């Protein structure tokens, strides 16, 4: 059962908050806003994307494992003590797939259930690519071959994954300005005109990120407990100095910087009030206060990731009161940089991921929006197949999950790689050379959200370098 109930007068409150935000200096409409009105004409109704970033680089080799005898033997020879026993692995039953038999890590039992019931899909061997590349081209690495900048670097690959411009910084040091924004932020620039809300289309539970930075759109930061409040003006425990009061409330500022700072502060105050009001449980007819424990709230696993997704669910439940027909969420699940103690730590992390995704999906069912909300995983890179003794080192391509009622589930999308050392998919030590670009993964998600195909190049500047911008993992 959904845990959000709303008051009928909340829309009025939020319209008033939006007006206050506009008076406080919200950004003027640009040409992107006009383009955005046309960008989603073909996609009506509500839709949301939820990105779960597996920060640190998820170990793809132990997440989805080939279990056919020959392929498993090659996997086990490379993984050595890190190889998972076949008896513990959770078998997948994909349709329309001709590769080796596959199974999931033992900690992913509920994702296995979602996959086999048609509510989840696996996107195989995705990574940052500046252009399609073969093993021969990788080995030769001539100047004519475009490669992502600083491969295997956490900071660089995270930025390139999220900006969708992996060759924005060349070896000559020339910076492409599009790398200052992220592909979901640029999608938000186009789709924000569908919303009538004081709250940004891009909302982050996982802190600042490049993914949601747009040319106009500014991501709205939330915590797992809700919006960050500025209480200085009404709290006996706040700073509440005369100078601060003037800074936050005086519209007659002379200095441009002071005026903008006042505008930002006032927008923050009005937006926090709007969000807090929208997500607060309402008083039921019997008078019982549901905020004191009488309201059943799904646990989502109880960890930090679950807490972030619970707040996402609350924001989705409040979508109409907030004036949102499109929402883009970012949550972060860290700790995937496992150079050591991989078997123990990976099992723990994936168990948290498994519970949180499954509980979140069930909550979207309860809210009646399971076909309108798609959850997908991201990670700056995968990891090397070859064991370093107790863990795995930085890699390149990785496998990802897409979950939701609109997903063409029970399928493996992309090209399943040869999981073996010195194969045609090996960039060294079992690092997968991606066969699907992040651009293609992102384009498929952005199109489903409502970005018109004719405008995809403004979201993903390099999409024209690849054969397809639709990988087919949506059934509707």
pLDDT of residue 31: 45
Write out pLDDT tens, residues 177-224.
Answer: 447 899 999 999 999 999 999 899 999 999 999 999 999 999 999 999
- Buried/exposed code over 63-79 (b: 16+ C-beta within 10 A; e: otherwise): bbbbbeeebbebbeebb
Residue with token string 């992913």: 108
Contact predicate 127/383, CB 8 Å:
no
Q: What is residue 41's predicted lDDT score, i.e. its pLDDT?
A: 44
Residue 453 has pLDDT above 70, yes or no: yes
Query: pLDDT over 90 for what percent of the chain?
Result: 71
Report residue 8 as tokens.
């009928």
- 231 pLDDT band (50/70/90 cuts)? low
Per residue in 408-425, pLDDT (tens digit) is 999 999 999 999 999 999
Average pLDDT on 36-58 reads: 80
pLDDT tens for each residue of 214-229: 999 999 999 999 998 7
Least confident range of 25-29, 86-90, 422-426, 446-450: 25-29
Residue pair 279/14 in contact (Cβ under 8 Å)? The answer is no
* Number of Cβ atoms within 10 Å of the Cβ of 253: 15
Residue 23 CB partners (closer than 8 Å, separation 6+)? none
- Residues 412 and 409: their CA atoms lie apart, in Å, by 8
Residue listed under structure tokens 């990788």: 138
pLDDT tens, residue by residue, 301-347: 889 999 999 999 999 999 999 999 999 999 999 999 999 999 999 99
Q: Which of 458, 324, 429, 418 is nearest to 125 (CA)?
A: 418
For 332, the token pair is 């972060």
* Between 31 and 182, residue with greater pLDDT: 182
- Predicted pLDDT at 272: 85
Q: How far is CA 295 from CA 1, 9, 281, 292, 319, in A?
A: 10, 22, 9, 8, 20
Residue environment code for 327-345, b if the CB has 16+ CB neighbours within 10 A, otherwise e? bbbbbbbeebbbeeebbeb
Q: Which residues contact 231 (CB under 8 A, 6 or more apart)?
A: 237, 238
Q: How confident is the model at residue 30 (pLDDT cuts 50, 70, 90)?
A: very low
Band the pLDDT of 269: cuts 50, 70, 90. Answer: confident
Helix (H, G, I), strand (E, B) or coil at 379: coil
The pLDDT value recorded for residue 233 is 53
| Among the listed residues 8, 1, 2, the one whose alpha carbon sits nearest the alpha carbon of residue 278 | 8
Buried b (16+ CB within 10 A) or exposed e, 5-26: ebeeebbeebeebbebbeebbb
Q: Which of 134-138, 242-246, 355-359, 446-450 has the lowest mean pLDDT?
A: 242-246
pLDDT for res 11: 46
Which residue ranges form the domains of the chain, and what is each CATH number? 27-225+322-465 (3.40.720)
Within 261-387, strands assigned E span: 326-333, 373-378, 383-387
Quick one: average pLDDT of 270-285?
76
Q: Does the pLDDT at position 110 exceed 80?
A: yes
Q: What span, in angstroms and rounded, lies between the C-alpha atoms of 382 and 154?
A: 11
Please provide the size of the chain in residues. Answer: 476
In order, the DSSP letters of 9-65 are THHHHHHHHHHHHHHTTPPPP-HHHHHHHHHTTT--S-EEEEEEEETT---GGGTEE
Q: Residue 264: what pLDDT?
A: 73
CB contact set of 129 (below 8 Å; sequence gap of 6+): 148, 166, 434, 437, 438, 439, 466
**What is the pLDDT at residue 248?**
67
Share of the chain above pLDDT 70, in %: 80
pTM over 0.85: yes
Helix (H) or strand (E) holding 187: helix 183-191
Band (239; pLDDT cuts 50, 70, 90): low
Q: What is the pLDDT of residue 288?
A: 45
Find all residues with CB under 8 Å of 464, minimum gap 6, and list them.
457
Report the pLDDT value the prediction gives residue 260, as an integer from 0 to 100. Answer: 76
């Amino acid at each position: 059962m959904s845990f959000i109930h709303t008051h009928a007068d909340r829309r009025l409150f939020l319209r008033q908050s939006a007006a206050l935000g506009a008076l406080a200096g919200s950004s003027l409409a640009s040409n992107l806003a006009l383009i955005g009105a046309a960008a989603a004409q073909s996609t009506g109704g509500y839709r949301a994307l939820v990105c779960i970033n597996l920060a640190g680089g998820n170990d793809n080799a132990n997440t989805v494992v080939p279990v056919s005898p020959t392929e498993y033997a090659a996997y086990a020879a490379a993984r050595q003590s890190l190889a998972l026993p076949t008896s513990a692995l959770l078998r997948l039953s994909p349709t329309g797939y001709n590769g080796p038999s596959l199974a999931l890590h033992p900690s992913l039992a509920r994702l296995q259930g979602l996959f086999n019931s048609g509510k989840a899909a696996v996107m195989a061997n995705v990574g940052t690519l500046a252009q399609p590349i073969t093993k021969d081209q990788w080995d030769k690495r001539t100047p004519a071959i475009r490669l992502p900048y600083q491969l295997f670097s956490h900071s660089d690959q995270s930025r390139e994954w999220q900006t969708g411009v992996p060759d924005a910084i060349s070896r000559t040091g020339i910076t492409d300005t599009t790398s200052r924004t992220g592909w979901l932020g640029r999608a938000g620039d186009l789709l924000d005109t569908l919303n009538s809300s004081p709250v940004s289309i891009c909302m982050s539970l996982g802190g600042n990120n490049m993914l949601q930075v747009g040319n106009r759109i500014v991501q709205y930061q939330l915590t797992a407990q809700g919006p960050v409040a500025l209480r200085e003006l009404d709290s006996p425990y706040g700073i509440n100095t005369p100078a601060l009061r003037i800074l936050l409330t005086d519209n007659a500022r002379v200095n441009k910087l002071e005026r903008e700072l006042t505008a930002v502060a006032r927008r923050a105050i009005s937006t926090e009030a709007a969000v807090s009001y929208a997500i607060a449980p309402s008083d039921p007819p019997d008078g019982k206060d549901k905020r004191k424990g009488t309201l059943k709230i799904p646990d989502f696993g109880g960890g930090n990731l679950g807490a972030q997704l619970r707040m996402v669910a609350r924001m989705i439940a409040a979508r109409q009161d907030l004036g949102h027909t499109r929402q883009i969420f970012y949550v972060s699940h860290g700790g995937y940089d496992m150079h050591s103690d991989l078997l123990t730590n990976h099992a723990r992390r994936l168990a948290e991921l498994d519970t949180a995704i499954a509980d979140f999906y069930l909550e979207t069912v309860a809210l009646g929006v399971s076909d309108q909300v798609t959850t997908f995983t991201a990670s700056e890179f995968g990891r090397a197949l070859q064991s370093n003794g107790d863990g795995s080192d930085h890699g390149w391509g990785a496998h990802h999950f897409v979950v939701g009622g609109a997903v063409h589930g029970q399928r493996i999308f992309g090209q399943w790689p040869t999981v073996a050392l010195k194969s045609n998919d090996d960039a060294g030590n079992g690092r997968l050379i991606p066969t699907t670009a992040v651009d293609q993964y992102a384009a498929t998600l952005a199109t489903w959200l409502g970005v018109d195909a004719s405008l995809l190049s403004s979201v993903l500047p390099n999409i024209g370098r690849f054969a397809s911008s639709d990988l087919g993992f949506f059934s509707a």
